[in-house]
């Protein structure tokens, strides 16, 4: 499947129709596997939730499965009404970074990748706390709104398309804030960036990622290069070059992204969609118990 056909496969007719996107997140670690499903109004929202949830689980392997539901009047609040047309659209498996890079090559999912929140490793968080506390103690929570207090933030920069992380270290007096920022910048090889807002100092540093995740970033980058090269070629004069580049592009995409689209839409009752993705409502007290006997 070429990049062009892949894009078409993810573009179902939606004229005068509303779309809901269900995502199943399965995480696997030494303790076993866990699964959770949620329903959203867009692919980007579903992607942001799936990656954030997977990252917070600290699982070694994650699997994300996206299903698209279309209905004339679909909404999360009234999903149980009517019938839906369902497409099992796309599935990705790997580390959180690998799945993020795979989804980022799809236009309708890429925004959700950048909105995901990836936490810092627990060991790094503990080290940051130890370093900052050794320099100065943050002010009491009741004083964080004082005009002379400064917030110190650590911004962990990851290579595109992985989202960056911004961690609040704490609120300090201005002199203490500068000392804390200086120690963090020295320890993590970062830079103290100009404040983007008053009362804030930011330390930017490069986040550590694994070799596997770096390979995923390299694949994403190469896919972008191939797309740009194909777009710059003449479809008539450069057919041989386009065919060769399309082949490489298809190989890279197929290695990380699995199309799950069914041959034709599957009709699904709204009640089944609700039962699959939305939590059951809390049971209501039986009012008959309050009636006099």
Per-residue model confidence as pLDDT tens digits over 141-185: 777 777 778 889 999 999 999 999 988 898 888 889 889 999 999
Q: Is beta strand 83-94 parallel, antiparallel or unpaired with respect to 61-71?
A: antiparallel
In a domain, 236, yes or no: no
In a domain, 249, yes or no: no
What 3-state DSSP class applies to 261? coil
Same domain, 39 and 113: yes
Residue in the block written with tokens 């004083």? 143
Burial class of residue 160 (count of CB atoms within 10 Å of its CB; 0-12, 13-18, 19+): middle
Q: How many CB atoms lie within 10 A of CB 190?
A: 19
CA 47, CA 64: separation in Å to the nearest integer?
A: 9
CA 142, CA 144: separation in Å to the nearest integer?
A: 6
Of the candidates 124, 208, 204, 111, the one whose C-alpha atom is nearest the C-alpha of residue 166 is 204
Same domain, 74 and 9: yes
Same domain, 138 and 194: yes
Domain that holds residue 97: 3-118+258-277
Per-residue model confidence as pLDDT tens digits over 13-48: 444 457 889 999 999 877 778 888 899 989 999 999
Write phi, then psi, for 204 (nearest 5 degrees). -100, 130
- Statement: the pTM of the whole predicted model exceeds 0.85: no
In a domain, 219, yes or no: no
Higher pLDDT, 128 or 265: 128
Mean pLDDT of 49-78: 81
Same domain, 88 and 195: no
Domain total of the chain: 2
Confidence of residue 270 (pLDDT cuts 50, 70, 90): confident
C-beta separation of 24 from 64 below 8 A: yes
Of 206, 227, 248, which closes a domain? 206
CA 18, CA 87: separation in Å to the nearest integer?
A: 14
Same domain, 16 and 112: yes
Same domain, 161 and 134: yes
Same domain, 127 and 98: no
Same domain, 193 and 171: yes
Same domain, 152 and 172: yes
């Amino acid at each position: 499947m070429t990049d062009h056909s892949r894009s078409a496969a993810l573009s179902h007719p939606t004229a005068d129709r509303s779309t809901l996107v269900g995502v199943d997140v399965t995480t696997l670690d030494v303790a076993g596997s866990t699964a959770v499903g949620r329903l959203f109004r867009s692919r980007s929202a579903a992607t942001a939730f799936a990656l954030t949830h997977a990252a917070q689980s600290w699982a070694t392997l994650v699997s994300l499965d996206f299903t698209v539901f279309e209905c004339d009047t679909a909404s999360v609040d009234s999903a149980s009404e009517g019938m839906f047309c369902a497409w099992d659209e796309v599935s990705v498996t790997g580390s959180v970074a690998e799945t993020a890079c795979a989804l980022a090559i799809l236009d309708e999912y890429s925004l959700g990748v950048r909105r995901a929140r990836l936490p810092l490793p627990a060991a790094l968080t503990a080290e940051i706390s130890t370093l900052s506390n050794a320099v100065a103690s943050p002010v009491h929570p009741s004083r964080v709104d004082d005009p002379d207090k400064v917030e110190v933030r650590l911004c962990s920069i990851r290579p595109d398309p992985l989202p960056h992380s911004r961690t609040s270290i704490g609120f300090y007096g201005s002199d203490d804030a500068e000392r804390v920022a200086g120690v963090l910048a020295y320890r993590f090889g970062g830079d103290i960036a100009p404040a983007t807002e008053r009362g804030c100092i930011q330390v930017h540093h490069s986040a550590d990622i694994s070799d596997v995740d770096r390979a995923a970033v390299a694949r994403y980058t190469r896919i972008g290069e191939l797309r740009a090269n194909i777009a710059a070629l003449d479809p008539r004069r450069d057919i041989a070059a386009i065919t060769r580049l399309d082949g490489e592009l298809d190989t890279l995409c197929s290695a990380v992204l699995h199309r799950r689209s069914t041959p034709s839409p599957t009709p699904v009752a709204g009640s089944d969609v609700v039962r699959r993705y939305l939590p059951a409502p809390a049971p209501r007290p039986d009012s008959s118990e309050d009636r006099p006997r």
